Chain A
């Protein structure tokens, strides 16, 4: 378990601002954010390599804020692995087992090298090993002393796409097998979505959202998060609440969201300035004014069509620019083309307000 209480840290122009985070025992937690968000700095604070200016770091119900890294029992793997180039693979793995009795040293080296499939490399030198091999060794080295927490700094970014997928699967499998509480730092949101039980999104030294991946993607709480996850239809506007909930067929709404020239019926618990996000796959496209139960019907002309695999990504001008995803089949049956007029409908409940 890791708990950060109001951790702040100033180094030069860079600043981490009051980070609060609680990671459950055995959880695979991702920290996601653009370069320079402070992710690596946060890992170094947990590892004890960077003292925070204020706040507390707890590991397994122990306040480790004042503890130096060698006493924290935390495994850290940097993006570029940083194996000790003057030592053999075996000695790299033995590095963290210095104080252990000999039989245990031998047993641990055997166990982790078996686990990571690197027994055949044990007596090799570091120079000349492939990136994938180096990464396994770095993982073995970090895991050998059985750390309470495993910190992975961009573990996949130095690999080519093919290896990346394989190693990603392996990391998940390894975690399932060992159950070590893991923090995985990345700037790649797909990677975070796939590996993590929960994730935190960081920006400019702050945690902007924490939650399970699906929740963070579906309900971003800020424009930054929405943009970071590539939310296509993101509108800034104003909410006007209705006095009471209104019904229209199967759709319910209680507020109107105004952005630019358009108004949308939405469900919202607040007023004033807000963002609305509509997932492209939640938009229903038709050629005639809709008989559907959706409340929001917008009309406009198609300005762009782009084939992305089996789906077609369609951009329309309905007063604002709106992106919808359709199957190729529906594009054909609807006889959609650039310049064509069409209707776009979306349920009030499918519009995420934040």
Chain B
């Protein structure tokens, strides 16, 4: 570069200005919200047992949904990454469906399976488990809307591991399951972890389908909505701030994992 000062091109200027507008649009409301709530309101919100139990409920349900997602989703992700089979394209499309349908529709669709008078609902009620209007309903709704994130992240992670590494493991006396556990799993754990965090964060922020299937007990997003509609903005705000802080924390965690994963890949 030296002494010459390069004048920014018209493109850089124009695109930077347009980019700044959208970034501002994303940041400003969240920032304003965080600053609007007073510290006292915030501590009051955290002190309220209703708020605390709601947040705990949200996080635990999201955790259970993520655990189920890993148990059932990782094997599928592995098959999608490694095997070619009839209908693979179709299944990949199915996995992405929850992303495109409106979430209240998800709630209604789940109701049609797990409602008391329908097959799933009757099946689980035999074991004394109520789904609609109870915690299992929250978990199922979260699972439905957020598991695609985990499956896609895990599939990409498995795809990045050279399948011949497993072949070598096989020739060294390891069966397919052992080769998976000793090679592919440890080599893709960052992708799996980041997928799990994404799924968990997405589950925490779910509202649309849960509001249909289980209004009470209230997860955080429903509590915020409930307070907003019955008491107004002032009461909803502190809870909203707490939820946003939790989501941002997850997000920071995720970025940390991803950045390190990239560094490992470079080597």
Contact = CB atoms under 8 A, between A and B. Distances in A.
Interface of A: 44, 47-49, 68-76, 78, 82, 84-86, 95-96, 98-99, 127-128, 141-142, 145, 147
Contacts of A98: 173-174
Nearest to A151: B171
B162 A69 contact: no
B170 A78 contact: no
B172 A96 contact: yes
22 contacts: A49-B167, A49-B170, A68-B170, A69-B167, A69-B170, A69-B171, A70-B172, A70-B174, A72-B171, A78-B164, A82-B162, A85-B187, A86-B187, A96-B171, A96-B172, A96-B173, A98-B173, A99-B173, A141-B168, A141-B172, A142-B171, A142-B172
B26 to A, nearest CB: 37
A76 B183 contact: no
A71 B171 CA distance: 8
Interface residues of B, number: 17
Given A76-B167, A78-B168, A84-B165, A145 B187 contact: no
A69 B267 CA distance: 30
A70 B164 contact: no
Contacts, number: 61
B165 A44 contact: no
B19 interface: no
Interface in B137-185: 162, 164-165, 167-175, 182-183
B208 to A, nearest CB: 40
B171 A84 contact: no
A49 B172 contact: no
Nearest to B267: A127
B186 interface: yes
A343 B145 CA distance: 86
Contacts of B174: 70, 95, 98
A220 to B, nearest CB: 33
B165 A82 contact: yes
Contacts of B186: 86
B187 A44 contact: no
Given A84-B183, A86-B186, A76 B173 contact: no
Contacts of A147: 171
A70 B165 contact: no
A95 B172 contact: yes
Nearest to A93: B172
